[in-house]
Amino acid sequence: MEAFTVEVITVGNELLSGRVVNTNASWIAGRVTKLGGAVKRITTVSDDVEECSAAIREALARRPKLIITTGGLGPTFDDRTLESIALALGIPLELNEEALHMVREKYGGDVTPPRLKMAKLPRGGKPLYNPVGTAPGCLIEVGDTIIIALPGVPLEMEAMFEMHVEPIILRLSHVAYTSMLIRVDTIEESSLAPMIEEVMKKCKAVYVKSRPKRNGEAYIEVEVSSRALTMKEAEENVAEACRLLRELIAKAGAKAQEL
């Protein structure tokens, strides 16, 4: 079951200096996955135009259905994501009347140069209304790929994702996805490995992944997931794989419980 592919590009020096944890990336990845898409890559680059446009060009070359960028849409000199998109596509950045209208409305007509900057989009780009903050987003189609630029402020990004991106994803998506977590105790990950392989061999439509955890006590967390044409089918796939895995774990004398 192939899901449609998405790449996420998060822009900002604060992500590369480690000052900010990239929760935008995981938030978007979680939403896209639940809506039936498959995030293939997340790239974080600095506010530098060369770095950012290189990442966009490289993502485009892999031909995902959707590229979502976050960050770099505001009024300051280092908000240069739209300039980077324009450079990557070899098109000019120009004042967009609809975007200007959005910015003007926010400021009651007082459009200073830093504010005017937020209304400049790559030629052919469509401005996306920002219901929380000021900077409009931007949507631009390149061949079979849709590029969507969202702001980096989490509240703004999330509101705009729900307003503009979800409808596009639902249109692209024809798959359902579900997953279940199992906690396994009193077994080594290396002893669990052959059981997981057996489950993956017998249940073709599922993916099983284990991770050692150390929250106070040590245990192993196993995630069983499936993509299918319907949610019912995906849930049945996961249930069957979990049943088989728990059987194998019990046979080995270890403990498993759903989380």
Interaction site with a copy of itself (CB under 8 A): 13-23, 25-33, 38-47, 51, 55, 58, 74-78, 112, 114-115, 118, 133-134, 152-153, 155, 179, 189-194, 196-197, 200, 207, 209-212, 214, 223, 225
**Closer of 16 and 91 to a copy of itself (Cβ):** 16
Minimum CB separation of residue 68 from a copy of itself in Å reads 12
Smallest gap from Cβ 51 to a copy of itself, in A, equals 7
Q: Collapsing DSSP states into helix, strand and coil, what is residue 231?
A: helix
Toward a copy of itself, which CB reaches closer, 83 or 91? 83
User: What count of residues does the chain have?
Assistant: 259
**How many C-beta atoms lie closer than 10 Å to residue 61's C-beta?**
9
Element of type H or E holding 27: helix 23-34
- Smallest gap from Cβ 249 to a copy of itself, in A, equals 14
Distance CA 152, CA 36 (A): 24
Residue whose C-alpha is closest to residue 121's, from 88, 143, 92: 92
Q: How far is the CB of 124 from a copy of itself (least distance, A)?
A: 26
Which of residues 112 and 251 has its CB atom nearest to a copy of itself in the complex? 112
CB closer to a copy of itself out of 87 and 103: 103
DSSP codes of every residue in 97-139 = HHHHHHHHHHHTT---HHHHHTTEEETT-EEE--SSSS--EEE
